[in-house]
Structure 1
């Protein structure tokens, strides 16, 4: 069984690797080819291009990379039209994957899209594109299934594998020991995003906020998990420029330990807010995009929800302050972060709510997703 699969960033690489492992348990003869990262490679992926070349977010940001992205997709399309895989799985990255899925579906290749595009949040007209592209959508959050099925899209809710992987009660002491952090010190975890563009935009305000916190909190320790060698280099340069005297522990591919070790988290909007929720940590969410992208989103009314972070979307009430674009500066980030260091009752309330959310999301995601993929393949094969 040959499966084409494409992921564009570390969170997708992680999701895809878990699915690939579960598929191999069901079909030991399965082979994978496409685009992915180190975790997918460890599961046997034959990658045609470096995953980092796909990792770009935003409307304007994509334009500079568009020729390269289109060439990559054209190459994959031609390859798979000439030698069709038994099934294709696009992992997130809808702007790249949906067109690829649509072309392959038209050529009678069964198509799966893993992680529902956020059509319930913005660019809702994409539901037509999803319906034309994917035979099946694997959704990772419970509120997505009803929305997609209402629009005629076949969807299986499989949960998020991280909910099963993270313990309900994180071990802060063990995490601090693993990272070499002092057991008794207050710890701020800073997560500036997994993409290079995110780190470039968020490193300065996040580091300035960390410096300001250190001026008010004696013995503050700062830990920063990064996804790749490239983002580690970029953040290290930012540290030398904006926080040369700040004692920062930078760790690679160790988000879970950094979050578990922390008292408070300053985090870019994205999958990491969900991971901070699973670690029951109070968080301040910051984000910046290209100014022109932000203006387009605002003027065209593209955003349809009141909150952007997954932690707030999953909670009964928004518990994480979201400071976006012009608000994502030290003058607003600092008081929000300091409040969590100072208000123990609020932190306890947040922890209790995040435990309830976590408990509601635990499913055997990889097995469920793999079985849904195999069921689709069998159905199409015998149609």
Structure 2
């Protein structure tokens, strides 16, 4: 059961690992195109579960409830050897609780971040989950200490992102001339994130370009809707040398790829020979960059795995903060950090500028240091290389074996 693109990719890799161990595996439920390519039979498309924020969740509540009830009925009728919920905890944990009570073993893939918000969910998790699969090593002790069987399977991004990034090859793919500093500017993938962060990021970028007129700024956008939204804000805060990207230049995967030269047709291959054809455009931007200014989220971990100095920022409205406080019962996260690299390293390895602290001036000052401090870049590279090695595991194989063990009754 996967409800968004990242979960679809996780589940597809897990299905591949399962079929390598048992070619007779049959899988049904909710999923996306990557799972379908692995022979998955979808009862509902994954966008049936995709919601963006509380307002969208309320608007789509009737459809979500119908989908949940239909999935519960179908699963109880089919009675699979094991149910696997991939992330989407609000949907999956409720379903897992019902199914486990009916005698169906359950595995939850990607532990909810109870270490930051809503720790009281551990009681529901204990009732709902036969076995938890977690992406981060520190989560093992947390779940095990609460009586939840758990396996650390590593983070799949650590397998997909190269240990040694190739900045020169990435710049050639993006048509960026050599010898200039490059900043990847990433204000998020949701409407609210871009609305609140893009003006600040662009005002900071204007200051940076005044300090270095040769600076090149690349802005990867997840789709055409978000691109159009960002470009409207860019028109209000123009930045010389700024290119908006939604696909690689010259690939025919989208409209004109922003301002600047197209990628050379004879752009050199990566030194490690890795195929980048299926990479999201954000990865090309991060690999090409000297530094990354980024909204808090999974992209912060991606930037860390590309070994780039980064500055993390996030802003929410007072109304949204009140909703989060009401829903979680907390005024703030349980940890002093919000960025995944800092959470994993248990210290402020990279700066976080949140809410009122996220002024254009402060963003520009920290980003300038990330762009220009060679000693900082070297320290960051060493630190994040060690993190990459910690997170790199045979995620599909470990997840598949744990699921098979649960289905056969052998799991702890």
The more displaced of 315-324 and 199-208 is 199-208
1:256 aligns with 2:286: no
Of 7, 11, 21, which aligns to 2:3? Answer: 7
TM-score, normalized by length of structure 1?
A: 0.89
Secondary structure of residue in 2 paired with 1:31: coil
1:365 aligns with 2:392: no
1:66 aligns with 2:96: no
The 3 A distance-change label for structure 1 pair 83 and 150 is same
The more displaced of 69-78 and 332-341 is 69-78
1:220 aligns with 2:247: no
Correspondence 1:39-78 to 2 at 5 A: 39-52=34-47, 54-56=49-51, 58=53, 62-78=57-73
CA offsets 1:343-378 (integer angstroms, 9 cap, x no match): 222222111111122222221111111111111111
Of 284, 296, 307, which aligns to 1:280? Answer: 307
Of 356, 380, 383, which aligns to 1:350? Answer: 380
Correspondence 1:80-229 to 2 at 5 A: 80-229=75-224
Question: 1:155 offset after TM fit, Å?
Answer: 0.6
Distance of 2:306 and 2:196 partners within structure 1 = 25
The more displaced of 130-139 and 212-221 is 212-221
CA offsets 1:169-202 (integer angstroms, 9 cap, x no match): 2110111112222222211112233344433433
How many equivalent pairs are there?
Answer: 376
The 3 A distance-change label for structure 1 pair 297 and 193 is same
CA offsets 1:208-232 (integer angstroms, 9 cap, x no match): 3333322322222222333344434
1:305 maps to 335
Question: 1:163 offset after TM fit, Å?
Answer: 1.4
CA contact (8 A) 1:7 1:16 kept: no
Runs of 4+ in 1 over 4 A off after TM superposition: 57-61, 296-299
Secondary structure of residue in 2 paired with 1:314: helix
Question: 1:329 offset after TM fit, Å?
Answer: 3.7
Question: 1:262 offset after TM fit, Å?
Answer: 0.6
Question: 1:271 offset after TM fit, Å?
Answer: 1.3
CA contact (8 A) 1:263 1:341 kept: yes
Secondary structure of residue in 2 paired with 1:85: coil
Of 319, 326, 335, which aligns to 1:292? Answer: 319
Of 297, 302, 326, which aligns to 1:270? Answer: 297
Unpaired runs of at least 5, structure 2: 248-279
CA contact (8 A) 1:6 1:35 kept: yes
CA contact (8 A) 1:121 1:303 kept: yes
CA contact (8 A) 1:61 1:290 kept: no
Distance of 2:233 and 2:28 partners within structure 1 = 36
Over the residues paired in the alignment, what is the CA RMSD in angstroms?
2.5
The 3 A distance-change label for structure 1 pair 244 and 267 is closer
Question: 1:250 offset after TM fit, Å?
Answer: 0.8
Unpaired runs of at least 5, structure 1: none
Secondary structure of residue in 1 paired with 2:338: coil
The structure with the greater share of residues assigned to strand is 1
The more displaced of 58-67 and 248-257 is 58-67
CA contact (8 A) 2:209 2:239 kept: no
Question: 1:311 offset after TM fit, Å?
Answer: 0.5
Question: 1:99 offset after TM fit, Å?
Answer: 0.8
Question: 1:121 offset after TM fit, Å?
Answer: 1.3
